[in-house]
Structure 1
Amino acid sequence: MTRPDTAPVRPGEELPLPALREALRGRVEGDVDQLTVEQFPGGFSNLTYLVRLGEGADAREYVLRRAPLGPVAAKAHDMPREYRLLERVHPVLPVAPEPVLLVEDTSVLGAPFYLMERRRGTVVRTKLPPEYAALPDAPRQLSEALADTLADLHAVDIDAAGLRDLGKPEGFNARQVEGWAGRWRRARTDDLPPPEELHDEDVIAWLLAHTPAESAHTLVHNDFKLDNLMLDPQDPAQVVALLDWEMTTVGDPLVDLGLTLTYWTMPEQPGREVSHVGANAPGFLSREDFLARYVARSGRDVSKVAWYEVLGHFKLAVIVQQIYARYRAGQTKDPRFAPLGQQAAWLIGEAWRRIQAAQDGVAQDGAAQP
């Protein structure tokens, strides 16, 4: 029987249970002879499963993560890197789950994978769950928890934790634009509007022309958003876990802030369920209040945040377009991916509108910064 937050494994994404059972035997706690697997239904990237060993009170549960099926971009979905990152982050930032076992032998599942501890809590996606609906202050509390956790992530001492070697922070912002521009061009499909209509090349040119120097060098989660937090079901102010560390590196913390604001301010998108959480929903922190909360906790200068928000929209467009390109090429059959091309185009349009708004602001008040 599946648990409330899991589902049966999707067709085509089943795991070879005999091989998995033998790979885990003697290496983790729990009865591997009573192994069962369910799937966590959220997310569009790595495949994430609930592995249960045994039954009853003595059963042990783990979360298994592996790369998506089919061809993936070079250096993407690197499970060994993610496992080793969590080994170092968990002791200094307890909201990061503890990794348990890394299996790099690709003969087991067809790709490296790892197990981490399972934490239990509430994940908020597009609407408040029933356990929060009766709490009138829940929207504000979880908004503040999101801003505070982002600031705490950026406060980790990367040198003391031995994390500086995760990336090359010098020149990080320029490499971000160049790297994501290359990924966009490789993933662009012929059913998108031409560049003169979509303005994707105009967005890239603007980002390159206005790239700021890094505001600081910190951990950067690179996919920090509300539904990557797990919250206490009885107390939405308490964070149980921060999930999905696959793209974490060291760079400019405001790159995280820009992407978080991209998610936080997003209204309805083509092909997606209307969101009833975030800056556009009653009771949640507005964009301005979210920024103020982050600044109060972190002490950071966010005067150039418009550039980081444009980058956030562009990065998210690239991510969903990469998934859509795999779907269109027949490398994955998941029907959830069918509208992602529309979403990518919408996000590029939002980035272009923000650029125009920033340029209008410069024209009106003479400000030198985007």
Structure 2
Amino acid sequence: MSDTIEVRSGEEVNLDVLHTFIDDHLTNIPKGELVIRQFGAGHSNLTYLLQMNDWEGVLRRPPMGPVAPKAHDMKREYTILKSLNQVFQAAPKPYFFSEDTGIVGAPFFIMERRKGIVLDSEFPSDVKYHAELGRKISQLMVDQLVALHEIDYRETDLVNLVKPEGFLERQVTGWITRYEKAKTSEINGIDEIKEYLVDHLPTSQQPTIIHYDYKLNNAMFSEDFSEMTGLFDWEMTTVGDPLADLGVAMSYWIQNNDPDFLKNGLGEPPVTVMDGFYTREEFIQSYAEKSGRDVSSINYYMAFAYFKLAAICQQIYYRYENGQTNDARFENFNVFVENLIHYAVEVSKKRDQA
């Protein structure tokens, strides 16, 4: 099961220009023919596999077309990885960043290629799945999130990039604004969820480094699933309320009894629907036990996470609707956005049960 595909139409890069650039900037790798493939997963930034003889690297750049202000900041992600690679083993090492848009059409960076197994909707054919393996992977996901939240951000370069004070309030108002700017239709429940998020802000916990896009198919595992060998997509990483990170992680953590739109909204159902994987409740309780944090307000963070995901998908759909991308995967994202808004409202009404 390959994790790469032929480069999608409309997302090609100039092979000769990039080859020359790499020869000039990565002088310690073997010279040879440059081969480029694309990582097919993901709906936002474009990620390419670069191969030259025995050397492999990974190139990341923003999506095609106009992007939202401050979104897809490649320099920021490069800087985050450069710092975290020193203190968090799952963070890949970045090699260099370039603002020269003449190379691949946008700012980009190149980082090391990590090897391992990435799980999405199925296991590799040579892996014999059993329920205990699902629990093992689930606990590893919990443990790595707890470990990330234990790092003292003040001892990393992130201290110069972030402003933890007022994080959650800025996030809520910011994502509401982003949603409104990308709105393509009126959706029932949108005013209700916006009002709830603004009026019920919980008291934030002590700020930590948060990945903020922590999900199974952003992680890579060793062949025996004993360790996480890579964690990717650090674009949204910042310092803030760790429960916001947990909420986002749980918005992507699908379980078997979820509504069909959640299970199928971003493609085939993920492997977390299989017997043995933690339910969201089990994941949250394990996180609480391992971290010692109070998770009683998690329903707020979950409601916000579903709204945030709706806003992200709405931005993607806005680009599709306005002809800024022709990726057919986005054609029905408007329906997914509507369902996410309705579900966020539903989750928000569970607040008294938290």
Specify if TM > 0.5.
yes
Deviates more, 1:30-39 or 1:218-227: 30-39
CA distance in 2, matches of 1:128, 1:152: 26
Residue aligned with 2:226, SS: strand
The answer as to 2:240 corresponding to 1:251 is yes
CA change 1:289–1:237 in 2 (3 A) is farther
**Structure 1, gaps ≥5 residues long:** 362-369
CA change 1:318–1:119 in 2 (3 A) is same
Preserved CA contact (<8 Å) 1:144 1:237: no
Preserved CA contact (<8 Å) 2:299 2:350: no
Q: Give % identity.
A: 41
Residue aligned with 2:92, SS: coil
CA distance in 1, matches of 2:104, 2:161: 26
Preserved CA contact (<8 Å) 1:126 1:277: yes
Alignment partner, residue 225 of structure 1 = 215
Matched ranges for 1:268-287 at <5 A? 268-269=260-261, 272-278=266-272, 280-287=273-280
CA change 1:316–1:125 in 2 (3 A) is same
**Structure 2, gaps ≥5 residues long:** none
Alignment partner, residue 85 of structure 2 = 90
Deviates more, 1:124-133 or 1:84-93: 124-133
The answer as to 2:226 corresponding to 1:237 is yes
Alignment partner, residue 300 of structure 2 = 307
Alignment partner, residue 157 of structure 2 = 162
Matched ranges for 1:337-348 at <5 A? 337-348=330-341
Residue aligned with 1:43, SS: coil
* Superposition misfits of 4+ residues, deviation over 4 angstroms: none
Alignment partner, residue 101 of structure 2 = 106
Structure 1 residue 274: Cα displacement: 4.3
What do residues 258-316 of structure 1 show as CA deviations (whole Å, max 9, x unaligned)? 111111146332655442533x5311112221112111221111111111000110000
Residue aligned with 2:244, SS: helix
Preserved CA contact (<8 Å) 2:80 2:157: no
Q: CA RMSD in A?
A: 1.7
Residue aligned with 2:154, SS: coil
Preserved CA contact (<8 Å) 1:21 1:32: no
CA distance in 1, matches of 2:285, 2:277: 13
Structure 1 residue 346: Cα displacement: 1.0
Pick aligned residue for 1:130 from 117, 125, 140? 125
CA change 1:23–1:179 in 2 (3 A) is same
CA distance in 2, matches of 1:135, 1:171: 44
CA change 1:129–1:346 in 2 (3 A) is farther
Alignment partner, residue 53 of structure 1 = 52
Structure 1 residue 21: Cα displacement: 1.1
Pick aligned residue for 1:139 from 134, 140, 143? 134
Alignment partner, residue 178 of structure 2 = 183
Pick aligned residue for 1:318 from 306, 311, 319? 311
The answer as to 2:193 corresponding to 1:212 is no
Alignment partner, residue 353 of structure 1 = 346
Length-normalised TM-score, structure 1: 0.90
Structure 1 residue 23: Cα displacement: 1.0
Residue aligned with 1:25, SS: helix
Alignment partner, residue 7 of structure 2 = 9
What do residues 25-57 of structure 1 show as CA deviations (whole Å, max 9, x unaligned)? 142233444111000000011100000112xxx
